[in-house]
Amino acid sequence: MADKKKILIVDDDSFLLDMYSLKFNQNNFDVFTSINGIKALEQLEAGLKPDIILTDIIMPEMDGFEMLKSINDKKLAQNSIKIVLSNKGQQSDIDQSKALGVSGYIVKANSTPAEVVEYVMGILEK
């Protein structure tokens, strides 16, 4: 088996963080979590280099778009695959995510945690 992939999950919902952490752990991921964009940036600035950043958009203090822009501006996690996991499914949100260099967009309401893991693993294999 290859080395464990590192994933940083950013979501202000601690129940979802726990649920996705468990699912990714069960699928041989090294899981890091952050309750908001500011905390995620601190982790990245401290040297965390995740293979994947899975982020929500709607969060207090700093939303996912601001966080992604900041990651890009500061040239953090340049080799990380960025995926949005949000309840916002509007095309404008998807377009804005793509403009920020996101590789995938998952609408939470349409996906089970197992499907989210499958989707992420599918992107990793590409």
Q: State the pTM of this model.
A: 0.95
> What span, in angstroms and rounded, lies between the C-alpha atoms of 26 and 36?
23
Residue 126: per-residue pLDDT: 81
- In tens digits, the chain (126 residues) has pLDDT values of 458 999 999 999 999 999 999 999 999 999 999 999 999 999 999 999 999 999 999 999 999 999 999 999 999 999 999 999 999 989 999 999 999 999 999 999 899 999 999 999 999 988
Phi, psi of 26 (to 5 degrees): -65, -20
Residues 92-100: contacts with CB under 8 Å, at least 24 apart: 93/57, 96/65, 97/57, 97/65, 97/68, 100/65, 100/68, 100/69, 100/72
- The domain segmentation of the chain, as residue ranges, is 5-125
Q: At the top level of CATH, which class does the domain 5-125 belong to?
A: alpha beta
Torsion of CA 9, 12, 84, 64, to 10 degrees: -110
